[in-house]
Amino acid sequence: MAQKDAPAEVSFSTISKVQSYLEEAEGWALQDNGKWASAKNRIPHSDYKTNKNPSPRRKLGRENFNILELRKVLIFDVQYNVLLIKYQDGDYEFPILQEGWKPFESLEYFVFAAESLSDVLPNDIPFNKAYAVNMKVFCQGIVRDYDPKRVDDIVVGKIQATERKTNINAANLVLAVMPVKEDGYEFVKFKIIRSYSKKTLSSWYLDPRNADKLFDVTYYSTKYHQFKKFIRDSEVFNIPTSGGPNDFQSYFKWGVLKYQAGNFDGAINDFNTALGYNSDTAFSLIYSYRGISRTKMGNYSDAIEDFDKAIDIRPSDIMGYSNWIKNYFNRGVSRFYTNDLKGACEDWNKSFDLGFGGALEYLERFCK
């Protein structure tokens, strides 16, 4: 059976998979005729006359994006997020003549402190008030005409170079935000401000007295619920920690963090240490996570034992139940890789009967 057709549990690579994304926003720019111009996912230029008949390059706007993505990475056991801005780009084959336009997609990325994400959209939403957030960038990069298959390697390479100090980061990112509630309609103005790591060069943007001015000329706007989902869906993966692990719960949290970052061997070690503190735990998730980590390491027999233990600990609450039924599905994946197709299909069928719709694809592909 071809590897690309083989089943797989959902997990994370060295940099996590996409945790959240934003695909739609309206870009706004104040033009030199005093009127505002807008475009989907693009901030127009301020030159009114040129905008009426723009060249291919000017059609890209002052800036644009196809999609904004948030991902996760651990650096020195500290949680960071990765903002990826995928945008329309291009070059002329004959730049002087501005002929032979060749469009392509490029990528800009910022690795920033995960703690900054909670400041972008606080729990107590300050509607109709502008503010700016220092994203505390660890490193940044631009890849023009990028190969999607190499994105992880490129970002990880820049992180490692910054760790080794062979790359000196000079970039910072300020995110200006203004949640608006107006005539029963809720939306968010936001602005991606590229700055520098030197504190004095970002201080003007971060000064609360200048917050309203940040939206005087250009900004993006999007529906409030879309922006909230973009931030919250990634923020939920940022696990609160305080110092090094020293008990069951803290070792479990660090195990989850390492699992998210793709350090499966380290995650297994932390889960083992946690269970050393409480071997009789009725917390099924620790066996679920260790089982998936062992599956990722190719240790399918031990993974099956973990899923067995997790299944034996049936939760009483609804949220726990939705996670619990996935143990049948993931045990089926491990059974598949031990050449137990009958057992795999039984587990996938059980998880489907219990309400996990994701099992249907596997049943139709492998169990007919």
DSSP 285-351: HHHHHHHHHHHHTT-HHHHHHHHHHHHHS--SSHHHHHHHTHHHHHHHHHHHHTT-HHHHHHHHHHH
Amino acid 35: pLDDT? 94
Kindly state whether residues 193 and 341 are assigned to the same domain. Answer: no
| Distance between CA atoms of residues 89 and 357, nearest Å | 39
What is the phi/psi pair of residue 28, to 5°? Answer: -125, 140
Sign of torsion, CA 316 318 322 323?
negative
Positions in the chain short of pLDDT 50: 1-4, 10-13
Kindly state whether residues 196 and 131 are assigned to the same domain. Answer: yes
Q: What is the pTM of this model?
A: 0.75
| Residue 94 structural domain | 20-235
CA angle at 229 for the pair 158 and 41, rounded to the nearest 5°:
70
SS3 category, 19? coil
Kindly state whether residues 176 and 83 are assigned to the same domain. Answer: yes
Kindly state whether residues 183 and 55 are assigned to the same domain. Answer: yes
Whether 9 is covered by a domain: the verdict is no
Kindly state whether residues 68 and 183 are assigned to the same domain. Answer: yes
Kindly state whether residues 298 and 348 are assigned to the same domain. Answer: yes
Amino acid 51: pLDDT? 79
Q: Which of 205, 235, 265 corresponds to the end of one domain?
A: 235
Kindly state whether residues 153 and 206 are assigned to the same domain. Answer: yes
Q: Which of 187, 211, 235 corresponds to the end of one domain?
A: 235
Tens-place pLDDT, residues 107-135: 999 999 999 999 999 999 999 999 999 99
| Distance between CA atoms of residues 305 and 315, nearest Å | 18
Amino acid 263: pLDDT? 83
Amino acid 4: pLDDT? 44
| Distance between CA atoms of residues 84 and 323, nearest Å | 29
User: Residue 368: CB partners within 8 Å, gap ≥ 6?
Assistant: none
**Residue 276: CATH number of its domain:** 1.25.40.10
* Token digits of residue 27: 């870009």
Amino acid 53: pLDDT? 83
